[in-house]
C-alpha cells in the first residue's frame, strides 16, 4: 500500500467521521500535501522508516472558532484508533510509535489554506503573485503543494493548486536561459579535463551539466523538479524526455571522456529537438560542433565564428521571448561566470 492510499483511507474511515462528530458544520478541505515521498508518489517499503504512516492535512475555514481546533485536536488525541490498517497512528517525531493507550500523538496537521501556503511557499495567497514572486518560489516546494491529492474540498483549494500548477511562461523561459548559461560556462570542461587524464574531474563536471540539462527538461515539460532524492526518478517519468534521459545515463556511466563527450552530444541534440517542438527555436538552427576550435569537447560553439550559431545566441533567443519587463531584465543580467 502506498502512503497516499493509506492517507486516503485514514481520512475517510477515521478522521472525517471524528470531524463530523465534533464540528458537523465545519467547512474544510483535506488531503495529503506538502513534504514527503508519499506525496510525490515515490514511497516504497524503505520509506516506512520515517515520515510515513496514517496522516493527512486539514485546511480549515478561516472563519472557524479557535475552540473548534482545540476540540478536534482533543478528539484526534483521544479517539483515533491506536492502529489503522495495522499501522500505529501515534508518532514520536517522524517515526511511527506503537502505544498501548491514548494520548495519541497524531499527524493530522490543521491550518487555514493561507497558513499552509505560508508554511510551504512563504506566501499566503497564490493569486496576484508577481513574476518576481514566482522566481523566488522553490520548485520542490511547489511540487508538494500541487502534488498528492485532495480527499475533500469544501474550500476549493483545487483552484489554488491550478494557479500554482506550473511556472508562468516568462518565468519558465528565465529559468531555461539561466540553466543554459550555466551549461555555457562548463560545456567544454569534461573533454578538456579528460584529455589531460583527469577522468574524475571530467565526470564531476559532466554530472553538473547533466543536472542542468535535466532541469531544462523539467521546465520544457512545465513540471516541477522535486528535491534531490527523487530528481532522477521524476525526470525518468517525463515521457518526452526519454531520449535526453538515455543519453545522459550513458554520459554518467561512461568509462572515458571520449565516450562521455559522444553521449553529451546526443543529449544536447535531443534537448534541442524539444526546444524546437516547443517553438522556442527554429528547426535545425543550432548544430553541434567543437565548443572551441582546436580543442576537444562537443557542444554548441562558444563564440560566433561564421558557422553554426553559438550557445550565447541560443540564450539570447530564449531571453528575447520573455515579455515581462522585470523578468526580461533579470534574464538580461545573466552573465557567464
pTM of whole model > 0.85?
Answer: yes
Can you give the pLDDT at residue 305? 81
Residue with cell 580543442: 295
Can you give the pLDDT at residue 119? 97
Can you give the pLDDT at residue 234? 98
In this predicted model, what pLDDT tens digit does every residue of 146-194 receive, in sequence order? 999 999 999 999 999 999 999 999 999 999 999 999 999 999 999 999 9
Can you give the pLDDT at residue 320? 97
User: pLDDT tens digits for the chain (337 residues)?
Assistant: 999 999 999 999 999 999 999 999 999 999 999 999 999 999 999 999 999 999 999 999 988 888 999 999 999 999 999 999 999 999 999 999 999 999 999 999 999 999 999 999 999 999 989 999 999 999 999 999 999 999 999 999 999 999 999 999 999 999 999 999 999 999 999 999 999 999 999 999 999 999 999 999 999 999 999 999 999 999 999 999 999 999 999 999 999 999 999 999 999 999 999 999 999 999 999 999 999 999 999 999 999 888 889 999 999 999 999 999 999 999 999 998 7
In this predicted model, what pLDDT tens digit does every residue of 284-324 receive, in sequence order? 999 999 999 999 999 999 998 888 899 999 999 999 999 99
Amino acid at each position: 500500500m502506498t502512503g497516499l492510499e493509506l492517507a486516503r483511507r485514514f481520512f475517510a474511515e477515521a478522521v472525517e467521521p471524528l470531524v463530523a462528530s465534533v464540528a458537523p458544520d465545519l467547512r474544510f478541505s483535506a488531503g495529503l500535501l506538502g513534504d514527503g515521498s508519499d506525496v510525490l508518489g515515490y514511497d516504497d517499503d524503505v520509506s516506512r522508516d520515517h515520515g510515513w504512516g496514517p496522516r493527512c492535512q486539514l485546511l480549515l475555514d478561516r472563519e472557524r472558532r479557535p475552540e473548534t481546533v482545540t476540540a478536534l485536536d482533543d478528539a484526534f488525541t483521544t479517539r483515533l484508533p491506536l492502529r489503522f490498517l495495522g499501522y500505529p497512528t501515534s508518532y514520536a517525531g517522524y517515526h511511527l510509535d506503537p502505544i498501548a493507550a491514548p494520548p495519541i500523538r497524531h499527524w493530522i496537521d490543521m491550518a487555514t489554506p493561507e497558513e499552509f501556503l505560508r508554511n510551504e511557499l512563504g506566501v499566503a495567497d497564490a493569486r496576484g503573485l508577481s513574476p518576481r514572486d514566482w522566481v523566488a518560489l522553490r520548485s520542490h516546494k511547489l511540487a508538494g503543494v500541487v502534488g498528492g491529492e485532495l480527499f475533500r474540498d469544501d474550500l476549493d483549494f483545487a483552484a489554488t493548486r491550478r494557479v500554482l500548477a506550473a511556472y508562468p511562461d516568462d518565468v519558465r523561459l528565465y529559468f531555461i536561459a539561466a540553466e543554459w548559461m550555466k551549461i555555457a560556462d562548463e560545456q567544454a570542461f569534461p573533454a578538456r579535463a579528460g584529455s589531460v587524464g583527469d577522468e574524475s574531474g571530467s565526470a564531476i563536471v559532466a554530472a553538473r551539466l547533466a543536472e542542468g540539462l535535466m532541469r531544462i527538461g523539467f521546465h520544457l515539460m512545465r513540471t516541477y523538479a522535486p528535491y534531490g532524492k527523487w530528481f532522477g526518478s521524476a525526470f525518468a517519468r517525463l515521457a518526452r524526455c526519454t531520449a535526453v534521459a538515455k543519453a545522459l545515463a550513458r554520459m554518467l556511466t561512461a568509462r572515458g571522456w571520449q565516450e562521455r563527450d559522444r553521449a553529451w552530444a546526443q543529449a544536447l541534440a535531443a534537448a534541442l529537438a524539444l526546444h524546437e517542438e516547443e517553438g522556442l527555436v527554429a528547426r535545425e538552427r543550432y548544430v553541434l560542433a567543437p565548443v572551441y576550435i582546436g580543442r576537444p569537447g562537443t557542444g554548441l560553439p562558444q563564440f560566433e565564428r561564421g558557422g553554426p550559431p553559438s550557445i550565447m545566441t541560443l540564450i539570447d533567443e530564449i531571453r528575447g521571448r520573455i515579455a515581462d519587463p522585470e523578468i526580461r531584465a533579470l534574464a538580461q543580467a545573466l552573465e557567464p561566470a
